[in-house]
Amino acid sequence: MPDYHDDLRLAHVLADAADAATMDRFKALDLKVETKPDMTPVSEADKAAEELIRGHLQRARPRDAILGEEYGVEGTGPRRWVVDPIDGTKNYVRGVPVWATLIALTEAGEGGYQPVVGVVSAPALGRRWWAAKGGGAYTGRSLTSATRLQVSKVSRLGDASLAYSSLSGWEEQGRLDGFLDLTRSVWRTRGYGDFWPYMMVAEGSVDLCAEPELSLWDMAANAIVVTEAGGTFTGLDGRPGPHSSNAAASNGLLHDELLGYLNQRY
């Protein structure tokens, strides 16, 4: 199995640089925010963080391609970095601390590019999570000060905690009734949103989460952290990995039941 330690160290350096840039503008009274064509917000901090990450990668990994939310694809080849400079921009621009920079390295393989390294850094929460293929998933302040992650062992849906982002997307896809049935079947629900539910699945503090509409940069880093912690990350169609434009993550023991509810159509 390839050794991704150098790539993981680089991803931490990228996250450090992004954290400094995003925290510098967090809660700034003169923060500039625009609306993209898809009607989602983008701040000057989103753009600055992605530009910073791209600059570092162009120097450190000039042969690797880069896919970012704000500036698209640059380069070609079997290795591609996937970047969401601020996952949770709506929180960021309102001063809510639940947002993160997501950085993943993907490699060409069967079924498309697959994540092999992922870092999720949430500086306003003082938290960071990471994983490399075959090396496990961790959380902590640094590579040398970390705790290994392990998903929960909850095996009954009635004992499970479910995290979700919102109801509107499920309704738009005709999946709302199935989603609501799921909420009635679990022990507890909480609307944390964005990257955080996936990290809580990896930590074992939440057992299930799902979102109906996502992009690759929303999922690539989350996917490898969840799977390296022993969990399962698929699309709603059951396809493993971050390639289905939506996501379902669990401790693995409850995944079939999770997909069953979310694929109910009325």
Say how many domains are in the chain: 2
Query: Which CB contacts under 8 angstroms, 24+ apart, belong to 128-131?
Result: 128/15, 129/199, 129/202, 129/225, 130/8, 130/11, 130/12, 130/225, 131/224, 131/225, 131/227, 131/228, 131/229
CATH number for 85: 3.30.540.10
Give the pLDDT confidence score for residue 2 in this predicted structure.
74
Q: Are 53 and 68 in contact (CB under 8 A)?
A: yes
Assess whether 137 and 161 both reside in one domain: no
Q: Is there a domain that residue 150 lies in? A: no
Across the range 57-65, mean pLDDT stands at 96
- Which range marks the domain in which residue 92 is found? 4-141
Same domain? 162 vs 75: no
266 has pLDDT over 70: no
Last residue of a domain, one of 116, 141, 166: 141
Task: State the average pLDDT for the chain.
Answer: 92
Annotated binding site: 69, 84, 86-87, 218
Same domain, 136 and 14: yes
CATH code for the domain of 185? 3.40.190.80
Residues 240 and 181 occupy one common structural domain: yes
Contacts of residue 48, defined as CB under 8 A and 6 or more positions apart, other chains included, come to: 21, 25, 85
Residues 10 and 78 in one domain: yes
Confirm whether 236 is domain-assigned. Answer: yes
Least confident residue range of 31-40, 51-60, 201-210: 31-40
- Three-state SS letters, the chain: CCCCHHHHHHHHHHHHHHHHHHHHHCCCCCCCEEECCCCCEEEHHHHHHHHHHHHHHHHHCCCCEEEECCCEEECCCCEEEEEEEEECHHHHHHCCCCCEEEEEEEEEECCEEEEEEEEEEECCCCEEEEEECCCEEEEEEECCEEEECCCCCCCCHHHCEEEECCCHHHHHCCCHHHHHHHHHHCCEEECCCCCHHHHHHHHCCCCEEEECCCCHHHHHHHHHHHHHCCCEEECCCCCECCCCCCEEEECCCCHHHHHHHHCCCC
Domain boundary, last residue among 112, 141, 170: 141
pLDDT score of 70: 87
Residues 114 and 66 in one domain: yes
Q: Does a structural domain hold residue 95?
A: yes
Judge whether 125 lies within some domain.
yes
For the annotated binding site for Mg(2+), the residues are 69, 84, 86-87, 218
Contact between 106 and 114 (Cβ < 8 Å): yes
Residues 15 and 125 in one domain: yes
Instruction: Kindly state whether residues 205 and 123 are assigned to the same domain.
Output: no
Q: How confident is the model at residue 116, as a pLDDT?
A: 98
Share of the chain above pLDDT 90, in %: 76
